[in-house]
Amino acid sequence: MGMESSLPGPARYRLSDGSSRLHTGAMTERPQIMTVEQTRALVNAALADDQLDLAVPLKISLATNEGLPIRVLSTLSRGDYHPAVGDVPGSLTYQDGDQVRVVTLSPQSELLLSAYLSA
């Protein structure tokens, strides 16, 4: 006679397309706050209405999509941004303690950052 465990099964997390994946303990895929289409709609709305500020969505996107630590967001400057060229995505350089790091931008962060800097 075998005893059945009363422990719950392995944890799963749901993806934006409705499918689910087994949680392995480490998040290998970062959650997306907005899709590219939603980000584009927000940027278009902000360009049409100067009352909409893209600073908060930009910081959220950089923190969640690119994994930037909150402490470095306030130190970023225009010169840290390197726009996309052709098929090469944009990037952002930042100082994290004694280290200078480079992160490739997601399409969402690229849209938000370029619109934020052009405003």
Q: If 0-12 CB within 10 Å is exposed, 13-18 middle and 19+ buried, where does residue 17 land? A: exposed
pLDDT greater than 90 at residue 26? no
Mean pLDDT of the chain: 80
Give the pLDDT band of residue 30 (cuts 50, 70, 90): low
**How far apart, in whole angstroms, are the C-alpha atoms of residue 49 and residue 70?**
27
Q: Which residues contact 55 (CB under 8 A, 6 or more apart)?
A: 116
Q: Give tens-digit pLDDT for 50-76.
A: 898 999 999 999 999 998 888 888 888
Say whether pTM exceeds 0.85: no
pLDDT for the residue 91 = 96
pLDDT for the residue 2 = 41
**How far apart, in whole angstroms, are the C-alpha atoms of residue 103 and residue 106?**
9
